[in-house]
Amino acid sequence: MSDTEKPKKLKLPEKATPEKRVPGTPRRSPVRASGVVKPRISTAESKAEEAKRRPPRHEEGPVSEKKPRNRPTTPNRDARNTDEGAPKPRRTTSSTAREASPTFNPDLRPAAPRNYNDTAPARAHERRTRGADGIDTQQAERPRRTPAAKPSEPQFKDADGSVRLSKRMAELGLCSRREADDYIERGWVKVDGVVVDELGSKIMPNQKIELTPIAETTQTQRVTIILHKPVGYVSGQAEDGYEPASVLITPENHWEEDPVKRRVEARHLRKLAPAGRLDIDSTGMLVLTQDGRIAKQLIGEKSDVEKEYLVRVEGPLSFDDLKLLNHGLMLDGVALQPAKVSWQNEDQLRFALREGRKRQIRRMCELVGLQVVGLKRVRIGQVKLAKLPPGKWRYLGDHEKF
C-alpha cells in the first residue's frame, strides 16, 4: 500500500432501531450471549393457558365461575348519626329478641352441681328455690366426700369402749402422750402385731400394745437429772428477773461424787423439763428429765408419789393444830388430802405430801398461826437428796425408782 492511499475505514453495523410494540402483544426479551430467552408472558395469559390445560371439574357442563360475595356496605358516620337525639339501634337476631327481656324465673335456674358419689341424678325438689323476698327457702345439703382409707393401714373403728392409742399408752406407763404421738408417727408402735402409724387411732383396752426395739433404745438413751436447787432460782421458765434452775445444768456443776459413773454429753443437757415445782425461796431436790414416763409419774393427774419436806417454822403449835395439819384443812374451798406432819426437832416440822398445790405448805402453816422461815425438799418417792451440795446435779441411776 502506497503512502498516497488512505486507509479504509471499517464499516460498523448500524444500530438496530427498536421496533415499536403493538399494544396487546407480549414483550420480547432481549437477545443475550447464551441464546434467546423465552419471551415473558403476562399474568392473564398464563392463567388462560393454565385453565386450558386443567381438566374440567364437571363433565356435564362448564365450570361455574365463583361469584363475589355481596357484602353490605357500612354507612359512613354522617349517615348513621343523622338523628343526634335518637338512641342507637340495638343489634337483634330475630323478632323475639326485640321484645322486652322476661322477668327472673327461679324455675329456669340451673340445677345444683351433682355429687358424683351419688348414682341417682339430682332431683327437681333438691334445687335451691328463692322466695318472693329474695331469701333462700330451701337448700339441698350435699354430702361431703370422705377420703378412702389406705388398705395397708389397719383401721380401728370408734366402737363402744374404745380409747385413743396414745392415751392408752400413757395409761400403761409406756411413755407420755406427747411421746406416744411421736412414736406412732415414726411407726414404732404395734397393736396386736400390726404397725400403727396414723394419729388418732382408737383401740380396745384389751388389745396388746408393743414398742419396737428402736423405740425402747431411744427411751434408754434419755436421762433424768437430780438437782439441788438453791434459793433464788425458779423451777420453770424465767420470771420476775429470776433465772430458771436449768441454767445450773452445766458440765462444771456436775457432782464429782456422782455414784452413776457416766460421761457428760451435750445431748444430756438439752430438752430437760422440770418434773415438779419448787418455789423461789425454797431449796432442795428438783427433778429435770427427758423421759416422759418419769414426768407423768411425778406430775401426772393420777400421781401419788410421796414428797418429803423439812420446814423451819416460828410460832407456837398446839396438839389440835398439829392434827389439822395432818388432815382437816381446806385451801380455795377444796379439802386437802391426808398428810404426814410431825416434829423433826425443836424448830423444824417434817411434811410428807402426795399432792402439790401452789405454796401448799406455807399456806397450811399460816392457817394454824405458823410462819415458815425455810423449806427444803429432801425426798421424792424412794429417791433422796442425800449429800448432794446446793447448785450441783447428778444422774438418776438405773436402779433408782421414784
Residue 376 has phi, psi (to 5 degrees) of -140, 130
Ranges of beta strands (E only) in 192-260 are 194-195, 202-203, 209-211, 224-229
Rounded to the nearest 10 degrees, the angle between the axes of helix 177-186 and helix 292-299 is 160
Q: How many angstroms separate the CA atoms of 66 and 69, rounded?
A: 9
What pairs with residue 66 in β-bridges? Answer: none
Order across the sheet with 189-191: list the strands: 194-195, 189-191, 209-211
**Beta partners for 284?**
229, 377
The rounded distance, in Å, linking the Cα atoms of 282 and 361 is 11
Q: Tell me the C-alpha distance between 371 and 314, whole Å.
A: 5
Task: Clarify whether 3 is annotated catalytic.
Answer: no
One-letter amino acid at 286 equals L
Select which of 258, 279, 281, 398 is catalytic. Answer: 279
Percent composition of the chain: helix, strand, coil (DSSP 3-state, to 5): 20, 20, 60
Please identify which residue in the block is written with the cell numbers 430458771: 244
CA distance readout (Å), 306 to 196, 280, 337, 354, 384: 36, 21, 12, 5, 12
Whole-angstrom Cα distance, residue 145 to residue 158? Answer: 19
Q: CA 214 to CA 199: how far, in whole Å? A: 19
Report how far apart, in Å, the C-alpha atoms of 5 and of each of 1, 2, 30, 380, 389 are.
Answer: 7, 5, 42, 157, 154
Name the nearest CA neighbour of 193 among 210, 172, 168.
210
Cell 438405773 sits at which residue?
Answer: 398
Which residues are part of the catalytic machinery?
Answer: 279
